[in-house]
Structure 1
Amino acid sequence: MVITTYKNQVVKDTPHKIDVREMYNKESAQAMLMALQPGESLKPHKTPVDVFFFVVEGRPTIHIGEESEVCEADTLVESPADIVHYISNSSSSIARVLVVKAPRPTSQTRVL
């Protein structure tokens, strides 16, 4: 058994400049837990693999292509490969989102 605890993971240095921590990283998939403070947002970007977002806490807005939706905790949102997407938090409380890429990308995400 392998147990990974969020608070023990190092905050990754990303172009988005938010709290992102790697929870799982294997060839089959990669999982990151993001914490967006009120007013924070990812930069629009494209990922070379399919992604899903699972809202753990808060009410972030998930933007995929031309669609945007405020999502509640316990909601899963799918995003196909090579579609512009990002997450923003316009609420007054923290939003935590588990981001899973499958399979793990072999090329870089493209920030727009």
Structure 2
Amino acid sequence: MDESTRRYCSDRAEGHQDARALDTRAQGGDSSDTTTAASWRFGPPKTTGALMEVIPRIPEAATEILPGVFKTPKVKTDALEVLELELAPGAALDPHDMPCFVTFFAIEGTGTFTYGDEVVTVPAGDMVRARTGTARFWANRGATKLRLLVIKSLGEK
């Protein structure tokens, strides 16, 4: 373990709350950053004597929410929800809005994402981030299944 990592771990173990400054210092940057834990988007990191938190997956199977559209919950906390959507060829979601920011990562296939009047083609490996206030939906116009990882930032409006 190098010196900056040792110092980082030591500071975390002593209950230091400014994790952003610690991360900066651990990476060899300037530790004079004045960001406080209160400015973290989802609140300060939660630890119970460890340097990380493992959030167990939701043990649920996929549910068909619309014809050819399957939803599998992965993780849910007060600040974050992660799920997987699978759209069969020809399947589509209904247009809808969300009360939070949503990030979509295309795991497999190519999808068509409609956001208001904009329509984009999103291949596997690309990501889309959608703000609130605009109707959106995914459609699979391809010949193979479309798999999306959906990350909802519940604390971000």
TM-score band, normalised by shorter chain: 0.7 to 0.9
Please state whether the residue corresponding to 1:71 is helix, strand or coil: strand
Structure 1 residue 56 and structure 2 residue 107: aligned?
A: yes
Structure 1 residue 23 and structure 2 residue 79: aligned?
A: no
Residues 26 and 104 in structure 1, CA contact (< 8 A), matched pair in contact too: no
Q: Percent identity?
A: 22
Q: TM-score, structure 2 length as denominator?
A: 0.59
Residues 12 and 22 in structure 1, CA contact (< 8 A), matched pair in contact too: no
One-letter amino acid matched to 2:88: Q
One-letter amino acid matched to 1:43: D
One-letter amino acid matched to 1:35: E
- Identify the match of residue 136 of structure 2 among 63, 85, 108: 85
TM-superposed CA distance for 1:44, in Å, is: 0.3
Structure 1 residue 33 and structure 2 residue 33: aligned?
A: no
Superposed CA offset, 1:49-75 (max 9, x none): 111110000001111111111111111
TM-superposed CA distance for 1:83, in Å, is: 1.1
Distance of 2:87 and 2:137 partners within structure 1: 12
Structure-2 change in CA distance of 1:35 and 1:13 (3 Å): closer
Structure-2 change in CA distance of 1:48 and 1:39 (3 Å): same
Structure 2 residue runs of 5 or longer lacking an equivalent are: 1-53
Point out the structure with the larger helix share: 2
Residues 25 and 104 in structure 1, CA contact (< 8 A), matched pair in contact too: no
Distance of 2:91 and 2:78 partners within structure 1: 30
Aligned residues: 102
Superposed CA offset, 1:24-51 (max 9, x none): 1111111110000000000000101111
Distance of 1:86 and 1:104 partners within structure 2: 21
